[in-house]
A and B are shown apart, each in its own frame.
Chain A
Amino acid sequence: MTDFAFEHRYSRQIRFRHLGAEGQARISRARVAVVGLGALGTASASQLARAGVGYLRLIDRDVVEPSNLQRQLLYTEDDARLAKPKAIAARDALAAANSDIEVEAVVDDLDAANAEQLLADVDVVIDGSDNFEVRYLINEVAVKHNLPWAYAGAVEAHGTSAFLRPGHTPCLVCLIGYGARVGHDTCDTVGVIAPIVQWMASFQVAEVLKFLAGREDALSDAILQADLWHTDVRLIRMGQPKPDCPCCARREFVALGAGRRALSVTFCGRQTIQVRPQHDASLSLDALAARLRPLGHVRASDALLRFETGDVALTVFPNGRALVHGTDDPARARALYAQYIGM
């Protein structure tokens, strides 16, 4: 008779001396959310489901495509033919691999409006996303609700991963500021091979299993950076959180705030922040130019207005969208918008 009994099913994990029966019991009670079910997310979700993590929430809005099959190991040609939502296809594949656990599929983008609802009730978040807008959101929910999360990214044959714990390690903003600009390399532009993704996902899951099993002492507290083409591996100690970090020290949750605030901000690169009103406006650039002329240098056309004052400049469009140049601080960008354009 086939024996799926708990002790048998997870026997190799229980026998691993650093986990044991107690570690396995903790893992089986744990709840984990996976954001993004591309190559990273399917790799980590698969390992977590098979490891017996009791509850998995799989979040992705996309559908399976043929170009995914080279590295996204949970999907089949049928999934691609039917253009199945990734969250559903992944849930079905994982349910077939482990019927002990509960897997919830969420076919949606993670955004400022739903991030807390989707992430705040789990023990750990796994980042399987492909962009920093989502990662800044995960980071903010993690800090706000004291949740650890596992970052990873990979392109070509190189990747980076880190397990970030609020209060213990730097947060994403401590490490890279708000400097992640749009226009960096993506898997679509420069390609990617499966081994680097599997490695980065494996590092994420190893750290998550340590944490879930109550073995924080074994966590690396390091950034793993690896290049499988040039066979180069680096481990960088993360040290302490930044005492003046806008996110984890001052608790300014700008990415989360974007969903509810009248002005949403996005980072457009070094020293440029886009500020956008929730509803398109219909600005008279002539009138605005007249208001701003006493305050600085103004150039205006039908399409846009450029206003320079002190160390900052604003480019304003008739629909109310503005680019604030000269700051990386979203709060300052909002304040400048409110100050000079009004809201």
Chain B
Amino acid sequence: MRIRLNGKEVVLPDGATVDDLVRHYGLDGEPVAIERNGQIVDREAFAGEVLAEGDVIEMARFVGGG
């Protein structure tokens, strides 16, 4: 399936979850906020949130340094 992640088209295997996406980018365990089609996804729901063709995902890393 194809989704848009932070404005860029990304191809993912069918059945991929938000958690898979986060892991794919090496961000599991990192403070990230995910918006799926305009809605913030609960952190606890990442593993159960199955992505669908055409989803628009925004992924924001909460950066530590200052």
Partner of A236, one of B33, B42, B63, B64: B33
Is B61's CB within 8 Å of the partner chain A? Answer: yes
Q: A residues within 8 A CB of B35? A: 236-237, 239
Contact across chains for A232 and B64 when beta carbons are under 8 A apart: no
Q: A residues within 8 A CB of B39? A: 239
Is A127's CB within 8 Å of the partner chain B? Answer: yes
Among the 9-residue stretches A9-17, A140-148, A173-181, A274-282, the one with 4 or more Cβ atoms under 8 Å from chain B is: A173-181
Among the 9-residue stretches A20-28, A182-190, A298-306, the one with 4 or more Cβ atoms under 8 Å from chain B is: A182-190
Task: Give residues 10-56 of B contacting A (CB, 8 Å).
Answer: 28-33, 35, 38-40, 42-44
Partner of B58, one of A180, A187, A234: A234
Task: Give residues 158-196 of A contacting B (CB, 8 Å).
Answer: 158-160, 170, 172, 174-177, 179-181, 184-187, 192
Q: How far is the CA of A341 from the CA of B28 in the complex (A)?
A: 30
Contacts A130-B66, A131-B64, A179-B43 hold; do A269 and B29 have CB atoms under 8 A apart? Answer: yes
Q: B residues within 8 A CB of A170? A: 40
Is A238's CB within 8 Å of the partner chain B? Answer: yes
Contacts A181-B30, A234-B6, A234-B7 hold; do A129 and B40 have CB atoms under 8 A apart? Answer: no
Q: B residues within 8 A CB of A160? A: 60-63
Contact across chains for B64 and A177 when beta carbons are under 8 A apart: no
Contact across chains for B66 and A270 when beta carbons are under 8 A apart: no
Among the 9-residue stretches A33-41, A49-57, A115-123, A318-326, the one with 4 or more Cβ atoms under 8 Å from chain B is: A33-41
**Minimum CB distance partner of A181 in chain B:** B29
Is A223's CB within 8 Å of the partner chain B? Answer: yes
Contact across chains for B64 and A242 when beta carbons are under 8 A apart: no
Contact across chains for B66 and A187 when beta carbons are under 8 A apart: yes
Is A203's CB within 8 Å of the partner chain B? Answer: no
Contacts A234-B7, A270-B28 hold; do A177 and B62 have CB atoms under 8 A apart? Answer: no
Q: Tell me how far the C-beta of A155 lies from the nearest C-beta in chain B, rounded to whole angstroms.
A: 4
Q: How far is the CA of A114 from the CA of B27 in the complex (A)?
A: 33
Q: How far is the CA of A314 from the CA of B42 in the complex (A)?
A: 26
**Minimum CB distance partner of A36 in chain B:** B66
Contact across chains for B33 and A176 when beta carbons are under 8 A apart: yes
Q: How far is the CA of A238 from the CA of B60 in the complex (A)?
A: 11
Contact across chains for B6 and A153 when beta carbons are under 8 A apart: no
Q: How far is the CA of A153 from the CA of B63 in the complex (A)?
A: 5
Q: B residues within 8 A CB of A176? A: 31-33, 43, 62
Partner of B62, one of A128, A129, A180, A192: A180
Contact across chains for B64 and A186 when beta carbons are under 8 A apart: yes
Q: Tell me how far the C-beta of A225 lies from the nearest C-beta in chain B, rounded to whole angstroms.
A: 5
The 9 closest A-B pairs by CB, nearest first: A153-B63, A177-B43, A176-B31, A155-B65, A180-B31, A187-B65, A270-B29, A40-B66, A130-B66
17 extra interface residue pairs, beta carbon distance < 8 Å, beyond A155-B63, A175-B62: A40-B66, A41-B66, A153-B63, A153-B66, A158-B61, A176-B31, A176-B32, A187-B65, A192-B65, A223-B60, A225-B60, A232-B6, A234-B60, A236-B35, A236-B58, A238-B40, A270-B28
| A–B complex contacts, Cβ < 8 Å, 14 sampled | A152-B66, A153-B64, A155-B63, A160-B60, A174-B40, A176-B31, A179-B31, A187-B65, A197-B66, A223-B33, A232-B6, A237-B38, A239-B38, A270-B29
Residues of A within 8 A of B (CB): 36, 38-41, 127-132, 151-155, 158-160, 170, 172, 174-177, 179-181, 184-187, 192, 197, 223, 225, 232, 234, 236-239, 242, 269-270
